[in-house]
A and B are shown apart, each in its own frame.
Chain A
Amino acid sequence: MENESRAHGLDFEAPIVELENRISELRSFSESSEIDLSGQLEELEKKCEEKKKAIYTHLNPWQRVQIARHPQRPLTSDYIKGFVSDFLELHGDGAYRDDPAIVTGLGRIRGRKVMIVGHRKGRTNPEKVACNFGMPHPEGYRKAMKKMRLAEKFNIPIISFINTAGAFPGIEAEERGQAFVVAKNLQGMASLRVPVIAIVIGEGGSGGAIGIGVADRILMLENSYYSVISPEGCAAILWKDASHAPRAAEILKLTSSDLSRFGIVDEVITEPVGGAHREHREMLQRVEETILRHLDEITDIDPDLRKEQRFRKYMDIGRFADQQEQTLEDRG
């Protein structure tokens, strides 16, 4: 895993990757030659940590978008494998087809029953193709809602992992009512009385993301993004040129810290220095703990009150000027 991660190093990570490579070379040389190089290794590791810190504490939005899309970043399936025990995948939307771009199923997190819903991107190339690169068709959203209704019936909390570039823009997707299923999910998730936690683990691509994202708590990994439009799409509209995506990422205010500041996101889950793709185990542990903490906070609320609070939460999102009051409403 770590070697692959290096192979996929991003441009701005090059100095880190270079140090990491030197460390692993030195380590294998030390092991094969039985020469003690622990002093040099320690020094290099220290240097590498410093470099990581220096780079990763000053990431710009576009760099974060790239990290969010990093091929070695933990995926929904990694989180399921990592801390959902007893996972029983439940396929199908009961109407048209099983959409592999969304995975749904029953499981337990430290013994507590949960219904898992999440975008599935796939790791290997054949997997990616099979999952349509995590871009669902209408049947994917319908499947998610079907399983959420099942969870509702049996009072099982829902955990939704968001990681999609967007709902798929295609002929068949439109023929099968992409807009209508996303809308139905937004309405359907507002009707749920069970706890719902949504976590943006990588890409939060517009309608395709929010289509499984109406929740009591919206969490975001530090280097994930959540946006009304992709930086490339925004750049194509504003500058007629997708290569201006870095600038678009800047102005769209799509990072976890922006959205936390806006009050749209309830908590940002810090990533290990160097990004989630470097330390899967650590990342998984942080996500598991954060989910459990939020579950604890919202599980004991009366179901109708919880639903009411979720409704209020969304009703309060928006910023506008109320000219009558002559004050800027600043509600988050």
Chain B
Amino acid sequence: MSEKQGEPRPNRRRDVPSGLWMRCSGCSKMIYRNLVVERGNVCPECSFHFPISSDERIRLLCDPETFDEQFKELAPADPLQFEARRTYRERLDETQKKTGLLDACLVGLAEIGEVPVVFGVSDSRFLMGSMGSVVGEKIARGIEMAREQNRPFIFVSGSGGGARMDEGMFSLMQMAKTSAAIQRLHEAGGLFVSILTNPTMGGAMASFAALGDVIIAEPKALIGFAGPNVIKQTINAELPSGFQSSEFNLEHGFIDQVVDRQQMRSTLIRILAYFCQEA
């Protein structure tokens, strides 16, 4: 089936829809839902990586029952009293109700392959995983906690928007804040493994997410600074295929590995074992 026949393409941002069968956003084939879930929400036909929630990411990467959430009392304020078509407050309330999350990331203590770490993950269901004051604060505190407790810091990024417009300059400043925290961790000899998922752009990508000692991306994720549409409009030309993909970033020397979701945990365990064990 092709789009020409009027079949709407499923929204890429949505989670795997319920129902026995589903259409893949990558190859447009009808695929058996259970099989997709079994593979960590990856298409069995074309390996398209569906977005997954922060909870699912924790289940996939951390040792069972080890995630102990920190700073969970932090909730977004509305410092600009931002109001466009709708108010930021309304959008927050609605998103909070829908997702059960207070903001777009979770940070906690966890173990991965029995190595104690500080683990964080952004959740793209919450305002595209964008970074406002809460996300910046949780990441910065998480990094500081990693430094103080001598644990590696692992963060799984996924943010289409990057910085959160609704919090204005408070958002932009989180870039400097999280990067400064990474510098401190670096000076203390701490390890930061940055995992990039589709999409990681703008303010998230141009700060902490780019500063991993090791940077790993899921396949075919959109990774970059400016959004493809902005670039297209600026240069008034089509973009080459695969532009800003994980593979593009690997080819240009900015990331260390492209790793399938199913191998992400075992890859992390290898990296942690290498850096955190004496022999």
Contacts and interface: CB of A to CB of B under 8 A. Distances in A.
A253 B140 CA distance: 24
Contacts of A238: 84-85
Interface in B228-273: 230-231, 234-235, 237, 239-240, 243-244, 248, 252-254
Given A179-B225, A254-B169, A262-B169, A320 B77 contact: yes
Contacts of B182: 187
A320 B133 contact: yes
B187 A191 contact: yes
A15 interface: no
Interface string B134-155: 1011001000000000000000
A207 B183 contact: no
B73 A207 contact: no
B198 interface: no
A186 B175 CA distance: 8
Given A182-B206, A187-B179, A190-B183, A317 B170 contact: yes
Given A189-B176, A207-B203, A228-B165, 13 more contacts: A169-B225, A171-B231, A171-B235, A171-B237, A174-B224, A175-B248, A175-B252, A183-B208, A186-B176, A228-B167, A238-B85, A319-B167, A321-B74
Given A311-B184, A318-B173, A322-B74, A169 B84 contact: no
Given A169-B234, A180-B254, A315 B225 contact: no
Contact of A207 (B172, B187, B230): B172
Interface in B57-102: 73-77, 79-80, 82-85, 102
Interface residues of A, number: 59
Interface string A306-332: 000011001101111111110011000
A182 B79 contact: no
A206 B164 CA distance: 12
B210 interface: yes
A44 interface: no
Contacts of A311: 180, 184
A12 interface: no
Q: What are the 10 closest A-B residue pairs judged by CB atoms, nearest first? A: A169-B226, A186-B179, A183-B210, A324-B73, A318-B133, A190-B180, A178-B225, A179-B225, A319-B79, A182-B206
Nearest to A167: B225
B77 A262 contact: no
Contacts of A169: 225-227, 230-231, 234
9 contacts: A169-B230, A174-B243, A179-B205, A187-B211, A234-B165, A237-B165, A318-B137, A322-B73, A325-B73
Size range of the chain B interface in the assembly: 35 or more
Contacts, number: 197
Interface of B: 73-77, 79-80, 82-85, 102, 133-134, 136-137, 140, 163-165, 167-177, 179-184, 186-187, 201-203, 205-211, 223-227, 230-231, 234-235, 237, 239-240, 243-244, 248, 252-254
Nearest to B85: A238
Contacts of B180: 186-187, 190, 214, 310-311, 314-315
Contacts of A259: 169
Contacts of A189: 176
A264 B230 contact: no
**In the complex, which of the residues A237, A264, A315, A324 has the most CB atoms of chain B within 10 Å of its own CB atom?**
A315
Contact of B165 (A171, A191, A229): A229
Contacts of B73: 322-325
B76 A226 contact: no
Given A228-B171, A251-B82, A328-B77, A319 B133 contact: yes
Contact of B169 (A179, A264, A314): A264
A184 B210 CA distance: 8
Interface in A169-219: 169-171, 173-180, 182-184, 186-191, 206-207, 210-211, 213-214
A296 to B, nearest CB: 24
A323 B183 contact: no
Nearest to B207: A183
Contacts of A177: 252-254
Contacts of A234: 165
B20 to A, nearest CB: 37
Given A179-B210, A187-B186, A210 B136 contact: no
A254 B168 contact: yes
A227 interface: yes
A265 to B, nearest CB: 9
Contacts of A173: 225-226
B231 A174 contact: yes
B91 to A, nearest CB: 12
